[in-house]
Amino acid sequence: MFEDARINEHTGETLELFRTEHGIPKVTLRAGAPTNARELLVAFEEHQRSSKGRFDQNHETTVLRYAAPGWSGQFMQGRKATEAEIQTQLKALEAISIEQFCSEAESIQEAVFERTQCNKRLRSKYKCLLQQQLEWARAQWFVAPESMVSSPPRRAYGKGEGIRLCRKNGERRPQMKEHLQGGRTHTRPLQIGLSSVAPINDTLNEQFRAFRQFLITPTGEGGLGVALSTADEITLPVIRRIFGYLHLEQGHAWEDLRLETIISVFALNPDPNLFLIEQGKRKGELNINRYANVKATAIVLAEEDAKKVLHLLKNYFTYDQNHPGTNLIACKSMIHLAKFLYREQTNRVLRRRYEDVPVITGLRVLQNDQRDDPGFYTPTIPNHQRTVPWEDAIEVIRQSQHEAEVNHTFRVNKQTGKEEIKRLRARRGRAEDIQRLLILLLLMVSGGPDRPRTLGLLRIGETFLYGDYDGLSFTSADRMRDPSQASWWIHLLPHQYKNGRTRKEKGEFWARVPDSVPELLSEGKTLYYYLYLWLNEYRAYMNPQHDFLLTTDKGQPFNPNSVADRISARFFKFTRVRVTSTGLRKMYVTFLQRIKAPKEVMVGARVFMKHAEKMQTEIYSMLEDLEKMEHLHTFNADVQRRFFKT
pLDDT of 151 reads: 34
Instruction: Give Cα separations from 421 to 120, 154, 412, 522 (angstroms).
Output: 29, 10, 9, 23
Task: State the pairing for strand pair 14-19/464-469.
Answer: unpaired
Query: In this model, does residue 357 exceed pLDDT 60?
Result: yes
Residue-wise burial string across 192-204, b where 16 or more C-beta atoms lie within 10 A, e elsewhere: bbeeebbebbeeb
**Taking a C-beta distance cutoff of 8 angstroms, is the pair 335, 363 a contact?**
yes
pLDDT reading at 20 higher than 80 = no
Mean pLDDT of the chain: 78
The mean-pLDDT minimum among 34-38, 167-171, 621-625, 642-646 falls in 167-171
Most distant CA pair in the chain, distance: 115
The b/e string for 451-480 (b: 16+ C-beta within 10 A; e otherwise) is bbbbbbbbbeeebbbbbbeeeeeeeebeee
What is residue 168's predicted lDDT score, i.e. its pLDDT?
Answer: 53
Residue 82: predicted pLDDT: 85
pLDDT of residue 622: 60
Q: How far apart are CA 239 and CA 316, in angstroms?
A: 11
User: Contact 530/404 with Cβ under 8 angstroms?
Assistant: yes
Q: How confident is the model at residue 400 (pLDDT cuts 50, 70, 90)?
A: very high
Q: What is the pLDDT of residue 501?
A: 46
Reported as a pLDDT band with limits 50, 70 and 90, residue 534 is: very high
CB 315 within 8 A of CB 358: no
Q: At what angle do helices 427-444 and 562-575 cross, to 10 degrees?
A: 90
pLDDT of res. 139: 64
- Average pLDDT of 525-540? 92
Q: What is the pLDDT of residue 264?
A: 93
For every residue of 15-50, DSSP letters joined together read EEEEE-TTS-EEEE--TTS--BHHHHHHHHHHHHHH
pLDDT tens digit sequence for 230-277: 888 889 999 999 999 999 888 899 899 999 999 999 988 888 888 888
- Give dist(CA 451, CA 584) in Å, integer: 10
Higher pLDDT, 449 or 297: 297
Report d(CA 224, CA 360) in Å as an integer: 15
Alpha helices in 576-619 (DSSP H): 581-594, 599-608, 613-614
Name the residue ranges covered by the structural domains of the chain.
2-139, 202-372, 391-591
pLDDT of residue 132: 83
Least confident range from 177-191, 370-384, 421-435: namely 177-191
Closest CA to 596 of 616, 623, 618, 615: 623
SS3 460: strand
* Per-residue pLDDT at 105: 86
- 605-634 pLDDT tens trace: 777 777 666 666 655 556 666 667 777 777
Which pLDDT value is given to residue 474? Answer: 92
Positive or negative, the CA dihedral 177, 183, 185, 189 is negative
pLDDT band at 519; cut points 50, 70, 90: confident
Beta strands 419-424 and 464-469, pairing class: unpaired
CA neighbor of 239 nearest in space, from 303, 334, 310: 334
Q: Would you state the pLDDT for residue 18? A: 34
pLDDT at 174: 57
Question: With pLDDT > 70 as the criterion, what percentage of the chain qualifies?
Answer: 78
Res 143: pLDDT: 57
User: How large is the average pLDDT for residues 177-193?
Assistant: 58
Q: Which residue has the higher pLDDT, 208 or 377?
A: 208
Instruction: List Cα–Cα distances, 531 to 145, 441, 513, in angstroms.
Output: 18, 10, 11
- Start-end of H helices in 65-198: 69-72, 83-94, 98-116, 120-139
Segment holding 474, helix H or strand E: strand 474-476
Q: pLDDT confidence of 286, banded at 50, 70, 90? A: confident
Average the pLDDT over 295-307 and give the result.
92
Per-residue pLDDT reduced to its tens digit, 197-221:
788 899 999 999 999 999 988 888 8
Measure the CA–CA gap between 171 and 181, rounded to whole angstroms. Answer: 24
Alpha-carbon dihedral sign for residues 79, 84, 90, 94: negative
Instruction: Name the more confident of 558 and 420.
Output: 558
> What mean pLDDT is predicted for residues 498-516?
70
Q: By three-state DSSP, how is residue 630 classified?
A: helix
Long-range pairs of 344-353 with CB within 8 A, sequence gap ≥ 24: 345/265, 345/266, 345/267, 345/268, 345/269, 346/268, 346/269, 347/269
- Nearest-CA neighbor of 294 among 266, 262, 335, 257? 266
Prediction pTM value? 0.55
Q: Give residue-wise pLDDT tens across range 96-107.
A: 888 888 888 888
- Give the CA angle between residues 111, 115, 120 to the nearest 5°: 80
pLDDT digits (tens, 9 = 90+) for 426-450: 888 899 999 999 999 998 887 777 7
Which of residues 565 and 561 earns the better pLDDT score? 565
pLDDT for position 19: 34
Q: Residue 253's CB: how many other CB atoms inside 10 A?
A: 10
